[in-house]
Chain A
Amino acid sequence: MSITESDKDVRITTPADVCGMGHRMKRKEDPRFIQGAGHYVDDIKLPGMLYLDIVRSPHAHAKILNIDASAALALPGVLAVITGQDLKAAGNLHMMPTLMSDTQMVLPIEKVVYYAQEVCAVVATSRYIAADAVELVKVDYEPLPAVVDPFQALKDEVIVREDKEKKSNHVWHWETGNKDATDEVFSRSSKVVKQKMHIPRIHVSSIETCGMVADWDKINEHMTIYMTSQAPHAHRTVVSLVSGIPEHKIRVISPDIGGGFGGKVPVYPGYVCTIVASLVTGKPVKWIEDRSENLQADSFARDYHIDAELAADANGKITGLRVKTLADDGAADAAANPSKFPAGLYSIGTGSYDMEAAHFEVDAAYTTKPPGGVAYRCSFRVTEAVHMIERMTDIMAHDLGQDPAEFRMKNFIKKEQFPYHSPTGWDYDSGDYHRALRLAMDLIGYEDLRKEQAEKRQRGELMGIGISSFTEIVGAGPSKDFDILGIKMFDSCEIRIHPTGSAIVRIGVQTQGQGHETTFAQIVAEELGLPASAITVEHGDTDTAPYGLGTYASRSTPTAGAAAAVAARKIRDKARKIAAYLLEANEEDLEWDVNKFMVKGSPTRAKTIQEIAFAAYTNFPQGMEAGMEAVNYYDPPNLTFPFGSYICVVDIDKGTGEVKVRRFVAVDDCGNIINPLIVEGQIHGGLTMGLAPALFEEIVYDENGQNLSGTFMDYLLPTSMETPKWELGKTVTPSPHHPIGAKGVGESPTVGAPPAIANAVVDALWHLGVRHLEIPITPPKIWKILRDNGIDED
């Protein structure tokens, strides 16, 4: 049996025909996708539908002198050209709020502040005519100096946001931890390592770009919006607040979504223009980004400039962490973080290590680049934090001449320390870090690899081994701390059992490939004993689903997954009453067994959930409400803290500088597992999205603020050739506070993988004096180091 198929730690309590938690159930949603019957936004075709296309700025920073749309309007088939002035006249719609309570332009009036910024929108009868019309709009610009580097921006020589009262590019300052205690720890620690690092701008690049169909029904004054949305309810509320259309007159439908990864959380100018275009024309209007628009103008991720210091005592015990960071926000703070956390959950950066004190300071700067700060498959800046601490840990171990695995083992938070209160205030729910690392070492054969590396180094071959033992923080979040634009970050589930014993489950979160239609059915099957195959899961339609905050930050299982279990338990409580009535027994004399209530000590006297469901409509006690349904809005008591240990082996080609990932073992612990097949898929995909920024992906700008990575020919996604055959292992440490003990998994691998790879490359080159390499570690960076050291392929 291969590593990936070992399910020995997975808890299964239901038979295969029920298919509750732990079963490798094939996905219920797949038949439509494998037969070309998925239904994505661009597949929607409504009668009389118009098409919207966008004129974009060729400058990163420029005054707009004039917009002449006459030639475009003269083109047959063109109905309208919408400018910033038009939006302003329509009720100040030219500006919109960001999720971080900043503002950003929908369409500009005075000036543009990033390359490819939306300048005006063209509406036409066909996609092709709209594209032709874009070429015919003549815009006169007066170029202004761009400011691309955030450190330069802080000098305030060029002000990006002249619309703001504060004439400065400094956006905010945020601190956490204990500064005095940290300084004191550093003053008495015998060993301190320092490193600057940049986590570069990257882009989620889901294979489906963003898009919308807005359909204004002027007779009923009702707006239907089909949208690539990871958070349809939140978007409905935002649309209502911004447009003034009452919320009950707006229906947002997020149909099948071709990948989200955080990029479909924000509201983009194109969406607002599409809604306005439908209002203006009274017709359905479609807008679909092309790939270059997606890469050039949609929210980026990362772009943190980090300056970190790690302290240890003479025995190599970590004592403290001090971090200063500059966040490049681009032209607006349009990050998708909970309101109270301008730098997200970055303060998870003390990681898996027990230390006395830590202090984090983050500042943010405006630059003339697109706004953003979305997740790229990561829970609110956790990737930046984990890269920092895992690189620092490795540098410290190497500097002390200690094996990085041994060094980690010595510094891990111990199993018996959980729940663990971290120096930055988090309460880690559960963990067993030693076990996960030991398993990863056993699976990869760590000790033998170190011997092989020593032999190869003798022969002048470059091989490296890298470890990353990360702690994630997901499942936002508890209402006392977590909200987006004031809306608390609960999530929801509504269950209705039909008389014949099948069910519909509606959830406030929204799948973009995670497999909710399967896993939520399995959660309800686990709780009620109804077969998962008899449970329909519906999501993404604000008219039918209960209100929820959507799917991102690995929050679906921790929040809505919990809501599903709690709602199912409410139904079970009612089922007990009906069963007692049917069996003429006392409620307290009944016990639950997989899918039925039976009288204690007399198992033949039992009623199945199907029999009870039928009775809920046909034969229920006098005075009881008919039917069988429940809803729960779940407010988690804490976040969840998945963890894992990854080990990567790389070989470096001395001729080209290319890094080849030879092996990669990932041991993940996401608590109890709902579906091992889906968890494996999530980990494979997440690891690949960790490999990507480590070795390939970066959005690059020239000094004029021009995006040099605007197509898939310049922005390199890993293909099947670069992606290794991932080897997985798992431990199971349930979350003590989650109703089904689950923690969430989608993002752990994206968070954990980049430092494992970077650490492996640095490990291969450490003897040449290399302490750190900035990601993406591309062949030219290594090639130069090798040549500087007189190393070539011979």
Chain B
Amino acid sequence: MGRTVKLTVNGQEVSREVEPRLLLVHFIREDLNLTGTHIGCDTTSCGACTINMDGKAVKSCTIFAVQADGRSIETIEGMAQNGLHPLQEGFWEKHGLQCGYCTPGMIMCANAFLKENPQPTEEEIRWAISGNLCRCTGYVKIVEAIQYAANKIQAQAAQPSETKEVVA
């Protein structure tokens, strides 16, 4: 009954045998022990389970692990490379989190978004995270956190330095 899936997770190749019905979020949390990805609603509504798959933001609670076969996924645990990612820094600086439960999903959603739209307006940021629910912050400081990250990434891109590869 098992199926073998091979995928890249935060830059590492992994291969596991899984039940075909195993949800990707359970695969990430329980088979790979990457518990930074959370579950909030089971119905693709809240976005707490958002990861990046081949660079796109994906809600991992409503796809199967077998659908990730051959793909490359990135979770919150892969974000900090040489120090915090500008998004992580932005959430900390701007108080973009309270209980922290939605935060990994928010950051992963914003990560995929900023790659598509590196200089977003406030309205564009609000639209981008509208599939991710936060019950604590009222979103204002999350928007500021993402703006902070966008500015920082732009500034790093503008002046080549050793820190540039952090966000590449």
Contacts and interface: CB of A to CB of B under 8 A. Distances in A.
A93 interface: no
A167 B6 CA distance: 63
B147 interface: no
A374 to B, nearest CB: 15
A521 interface: no
A720 B96 CA distance: 13
B133 A34 contact: no
A314 interface: no
Contact of A36 (B19, B36, B142): B36
B36 A719 contact: no
Interface string B89-113: 0011101011111111001000000
Interface residues of B, number: 59
A33 B97 contact: yes
A614 interface: no
A256 B135 contact: no
A513 B130 contact: no
A27 B103 contact: no
B133 A42 contact: no
Interface string A145-184: 0000000000000000000000000000000000000000
A514 B97 CA distance: 10
Contacts of B34: 36
Interface stretch (A528-536, A568-576, A683-691): A683-691
Nearest to A32: B100
Interface string A177-220: 00000000000000000000000000011111100000000000
A723 B122 CA distance: 13
A34 B107 contact: yes
A392 B102 CA distance: 38
A711 interface: yes
Contacts of A375: none
Contact of B135 (A39, A711, A717): A717
A257 B101 CA distance: 8
B142 A720 contact: yes
Contact of A259 (B35, B101, B130): B101
A684 B135 contact: no
A411 B103 CA distance: 44
Contact of B92 (A27, A209, A723): A27
A681 B141 contact: yes
Contacts of B42: 290-292
A31 interface: yes
A616 to B, nearest CB: 35
Contacts of A205: 135
A698 B92 CA distance: 33
A700 B45 CA distance: 19
Nearest to B35: A43
Contact of B136 (A29, A513, A726): A513
Contact of A207 (B40, B122, B143): B40
A682 to B, nearest CB: 8
A513 B99 contact: yes
A40 B98 contact: no
A712 B137 contact: no
Contacts of B107: 34
Nearest to A33: B100
B98 A681 contact: yes
A539 to B, nearest CB: 14
Contacts of B138: 684-688, 723, 726
A207 B141 contact: no
Contact of B143 (A681, A682, A689, A720): A720
A723 B126 CA distance: 9
A744 to B, nearest CB: 16
Q: Is the interface of A mostly helix, strand, loop or mixed?
A: loop
B15 to A, nearest CB: 21
Interface in A271-319: 290-292
Interface in B17-51: 19, 21-22, 26, 29-30, 33-43, 45-46, 48
A678 B84 CA distance: 22
B60 interface: no
B67 to A, nearest CB: 17
B61 to A, nearest CB: 10
B103 A33 contact: yes
A38 interface: yes
A206 B19 contact: no
A40 B19 contact: no
Contacts of B136: 259, 513, 681, 685
B140 interface: yes
A464 to B, nearest CB: 22
Contact of B130 (A45, A514, A720): A720
Contact of B133 (A38, A45, A127, A712): A712
Nearest to B134: A207
A373 interface: no
Contact of A261 (B48, B76, B80, B135): B135
A43 B21 CA distance: 21
Interface in A657-697: 677-678, 680-682, 684-689
Interface in A1-52: 26-27, 29-40, 42-43, 45
A754 to B, nearest CB: 15
B41 A711 contact: yes
A128 interface: yes
Contact of A256 (B100, B102, B129, B139): B100
A750 to B, nearest CB: 11
Contacts of A292: 42
A560 to B, nearest CB: 18
Given A685-B138, A720-B143, A36 B98 contact: no
B133 to A, nearest CB: 5
Nearest to A205: B135
Nearest to A689: B135
B85 to A, nearest CB: 9
Contacts of B91: 30, 34
A519 to B, nearest CB: 12
B1 to A, nearest CB: 12
A725 B143 CA distance: 10
Contacts of B48: 207
Most buried by B among A36, A208, A723: A36
B103 A721 contact: no
A515 interface: yes
Interface string A702-721: 00000000011100010111
A713 B104 contact: no
Contact of B79 (A35, A512, A684): A35
A77 interface: no
A180 to B, nearest CB: 45
B45 A38 contact: no
B77 interface: yes
A38 B100 contact: yes
Given A207-B40, A720-B125, 14 more contacts: A33-B97, A34-B76, A34-B91, A35-B88, A43-B35, A45-B30, A207-B41, A207-B133, A712-B41, A712-B43, A717-B133, A719-B131, A723-B140, A726-B138
24 contacts: A30-B91, A33-B103, A35-B36, A36-B34, A36-B35, A42-B29, A128-B22, A206-B101, A208-B101, A257-B99, A258-B40, A258-B99, A290-B42, A681-B141, A684-B141, A685-B136, A689-B135, A711-B43, A711-B45, A712-B133, A717-B133, A719-B131, A720-B132, A725-B140
Interface of B: 19, 21-22, 26, 29-30, 33-43, 45-46, 48, 75-77, 79-80, 84, 88, 91-93, 95, 97-104, 107, 122, 125-127, 129-143
Interface of A: 26-27, 29-40, 42-43, 45, 127-128, 204-209, 256-259, 261, 290-292, 512-515, 677-678, 680-682, 684-689, 711-713, 717, 719-721, 723, 725-726
What 9 A-B pairs come out closest when comparing CB atoms?
A: A36-B36, A33-B100, A513-B99, A258-B101, A684-B138, A36-B76, A513-B98, A712-B45, A688-B138
